[in-house]
Amino acid sequence: MEQLIRMRTIPLSFEFKVHPVRLELKTEPASYSVKRDRGAFEINSTPARFYIDSRAMRASTGWFPNITMFNKYIAQKGVKAAFEEVGRLVKEGNRLADIYKHDNPIAQIARESTDTRVETVLGFSPSEPLNIKWDPHNLSIRYEMDRLFFEWRTNQKPELEFIPAKIEFVIKEYARLEVEYIGGPIYIPPSADPSYEPKHFSSVA
């Protein structure tokens, strides 16, 4: 008899995935900020200066720019003349006190006071030089480079995450039974089959 049915059994197919225990360290990425202080470039220049003081020179010529200096000059001359006169009087007084030691001191004093001799003194005008002061030219250069300041920001408390082990059971294919008909077509009635051949019965009497 010809086989009409073929059966095939497909077993269950599955897969195990094992994920081991792991620890994950979570930290925030570090960040930073930059602050820049710009440098400086400075040039300071002080020009040369000349100071000319002609007050002493002009005073030596008898010219005074203001009444204050004139009064000061007259006062100095007066003090000098007063000291000279006092000295002369003291000298004459001493000579009169010692009249017995000197021959006729009164006549000598009178003769000296009427002496009209002129003393010549060589001098220069002006007698005082100019007072000149000089400050040289001054040049100063100051340069400061740029400065960079870095400020770092880091997370000082990292987070530690525990991930437990995990087993995954994955079914890739379920079990099943496949039935396949491998025979030819079935005709009802059998005479519908194109290749049907009627059966002949012979009877012998």
- Is the CB of residue 143 less than 8 Å from the CB of residue 39? yes
> Could you tell me the pTM of the whole model?
0.27
Is 124's pLDDT higher than 60?
A: no
- pLDDT score for 116: 54
pLDDT, mean over the chain: 76
Tokens at residue 125, please?
């005008």
Distance between CA atoms of 128 and 112, rounded to whole angstroms? 34
pLDDT tens digits, 4-57: 788 889 888 888 888 888 888 777 777 778 888 888 888 888 888 878 887 777
pLDDT above 90 as % of the chain: 0
**SS3 of residue 106 by DSSP:** helix
